[in-house]
Amino acid sequence: MRTTLFILAALLGGGTLQAADQTKTIKSPEGRTTILTWGPAHPLPDQGEPVLTQLDRNGDGQISLTEAEAHRLLHSDFDYADLNDDGQISAAELARWVD
């Protein structure tokens, strides 16, 4: 329950609560309102696995944040994929992220 409330607080605080597939509003006896939402509000397209040679437009053997924009899922997960926080996704980092 604590986790659920944290997620809801994050959604409400971030202002990202938008149309989802399902929404349910719960009012507690104390007057507290809880809004539950589920379902993809903005599903990412299935672009398959990212391919370094296709995304690496400048040919340096790595994927920058700008280059990653061509693959929306990788772009949205860029900080996680960039293990050493150098702003580039190397071949090894990409292979690990794909696994």
Binding site for Ca ion (CB under 5 A): 56, 58, 60, 62, 82, 84, 86, 88
For Ca ion, the closer of residues 23 and 84 by Cβ is 84
| Residue 42 Cβ vs Ca ion, minimum distance, rounded to whole Å | 27
Q: How far apart are CA 80 and CA 53, in angstroms?
A: 20
| Residue 69 Cβ vs Ca ion, minimum distance, rounded to whole Å | 12
| Residue 82 Cβ vs Ca ion, minimum distance, rounded to whole Å | 4
Q: How far apart are CA 31 and CA 56, in angstroms?
A: 53
DSSP conformational letter for 39: S
Q: How far apart are CA 85 and CA 62, in angstroms?
A: 13
For Ca ion, the closer of residues 21 and 86 by Cβ is 86
| Residue 76 Cβ vs Ca ion, minimum distance, rounded to whole Å | 16
For Ca ion, the closer of residues 39 and 61 by Cβ is 61
Taken in order 74, 12, 33, 25, the sign of the CA dihedral is: negative
Minimal CA–CA distance to 44: which of 68, 61, 23?
68
For Ca ion, the closer of residues 7 and 95 by Cβ is 95
